[in-house]
Amino acid sequence: MAGEPQPLPKPAQKKFDRRIIDGPLRQAVWMLAWPTMLQNIFGGLQGVIDHSMVGHYVGLNANAAIGVSLQIFILVIVFVASVFSGMGVLVARFAGAGDSDAVNRTVYQAFLTAAFLSTGLLAPVGYFAAPWLLSLVNAAPDVQREALPYIRTMFVSSIGMLTFFMMSGALRAAGDVQTTLRTGVAMTIANVILNILLIPKYGTFGAALGTAIASVGTSGVLIWLLFSGRLVIRFSRGISFKPDWPIIRELFRFGLPTGIQGIAMNLAGLLMVRFIGSLQHSAEAQAAYAVGYTELFSLITWTSVGLMGAAAAVAGQNLGAGHPDRAAQSPAVAARIGLGVAAIVGLGFVLMPRVLLGAFALTEGVGFELGRQLLAYLAVSGFFVTVALCYTGGLQGTGDTKSPLYISIVSQVIVPVGLCSVIEATGDLAASDIWLAIVLGHATRATLSVLRFQQGKWRNIRVAVPRPAAE
């Protein structure tokens, strides 16, 4: 009737960014890559601050406790989070086709799956299994005492971290990296502030509590944004909590190989650490490895991971839009950007090892010499890593998640672990042998990834989400 108040219209859902499938390819890749790189840098700095503060207020046992706990937590959570890579395949494909309904339904089912796995599996099992997990890695008793409240808090609050990574992956695959960057930076800043307040009072537990509050709070904001209609992905208030099994099956069809790949690579890393521990100067070699490979080499991996996500989104969306030839060019465009970064960083490794290692107090003696030697190998390895990750993104983004699994088993397990095992069994294993094994593993991964992508079998991979039944 005239004069009656009319309901406010719902805000229109944001449109997908069509520059990803229509604009210059290099611009599309860079547009998606740089926010992820910046977010990775902020996240890495948060870890440095965590370690610095607990080391200052608690001591070395606290640093060891966080290191051991995160190794366990990441190894467990990487399999659970595999559903997110499957979600990314579907979201990119449907976003490229302009099917917002399929994107929304896919992300919502991924959210329900993540919520169930975190609250029904990770939280209870992780809490009660934490003492056993810590003993499994032979953590010292003092380290276990510091680590137990930390790892239990991380498991109980895992829904926050899982939801954040899931939402970030969904938005990135749909082309919205700005929201991901803003919320990621906000979470990091909140985490640092909370750690400054909590670590002096609660020690290692305070570091976990800060991470838990920041991740759960940020995930809550992201969920609110999804219901508000302000993003390219939207949840409706009347949406059903009922599982949509065809979508969930597709999530695990594409996601499980990536989860198994993550576990295999983490286990291979642990085996390489074991080889380093068997060397004559094991403590110095472990320090060189921790600084050179874990910290300094991340200057390349942070960039490459951002480019991998961009290559996946661009390739997946263009395949969904019916532009397979454009999808085929995406990893090469991303790799050229990555090779430029690898060249600059590698040059720094070769020309300025004393400056770089000195920032971590490796300034002289055997530790410095091993670190300098490792950086020289990593200067070469950086080229292979960035190519491997960019082409892995191309494969995974188009739906071929099995090939990267098989390639990783060959290149990251069989080649480096096998080489070190043979040398150890037939002679004296030296640090340079381990560094060479790392480079050969990366070279193998890059070569196999490029060859597999160029075969073009990803062009024929189909994804399908049935339409919901009419109400």
pLDDT digits over 292-335, tens only?
A: 887 788 889 888 999 999 999 999 999 999 999 999 999 999 99
Cα separation of 253 and 406, whole Å? 16
**Which of 360, 386, 388 is CA-nearest to residue 374?**
360
Integer angstrom CA distances of residue 250 from 90, 245, 289, 296: 8, 9, 39, 37
Cα separation of 86 and 99, whole Å? 17
Cα separation of 211 and 223, whole Å? 18
């992508």: which residue's tokens? 453
According to the model, what pLDDT value does residue 146 have?
A: 84
């990366």: which residue's tokens? 442
According to the model, what pLDDT value does residue 138 have?
A: 65
pTM as predicted? 0.85
According to the model, what pLDDT value does residue 299 have?
A: 85
Cα separation of 214 and 200, whole Å? 18
Cα separation of 91 and 74, whole Å? 24
pLDDT digits over 341-399, tens only?
A: 999 999 999 999 998 888 777 778 888 899 899 999 999 999 999 999 999 999 999 99
* Intervals of the chain under pLDDT 50: 1-2, 5, 7-8, 469-471
Cα separation of 349 and 342, whole Å? 10
Helix residue ranges per DSSP H, 229-294: 245-277, 282-289
Residue 432 CA from chain centroid, whole number: 28
Cα separation of 91 and 172, whole Å? 9
Sign of the Cα torsion 466, 469, 470, 471 reads negative
According to the model, what pLDDT value does residue 470 have?
A: 46
According to the model, what pLDDT value does residue 337 have?
A: 94
Buried b or exposed e, range 267-287, using 16+ CB within 10 angstroms: ebbeebeebbeebebeebbbb
The length of the chain is 471
Helix residue ranges per DSSP H, 359-430: 365-397, 402-408, 415-426
Contacts of 315 (CB under 8 A, 6+ apart): 92, 327, 328, 330, 331, 393, 394, 397, 398
Asked whether the beta carbons of 390 and 452 are under 8 A apart, the reply is no
To 10 degrees, the CA torsion angle through 112, 220, 235, 100? Answer: -90
- What values do phi and psi take at 59, rounded to 5? 130, -175
Contacts of 177 (CB under 8 A, 6+ apart): 31, 32, 35, 36, 171
According to the model, what pLDDT value does residue 58 have?
A: 73
Cα separation of 195 and 214, whole Å? 10
Cα separation of 43 and 58, whole Å? 22
- E-assigned strand segments in 160-223: none
Residue 52 CA from chain centroid, whole number: 23
Six token digits for residue 356: 């770089």
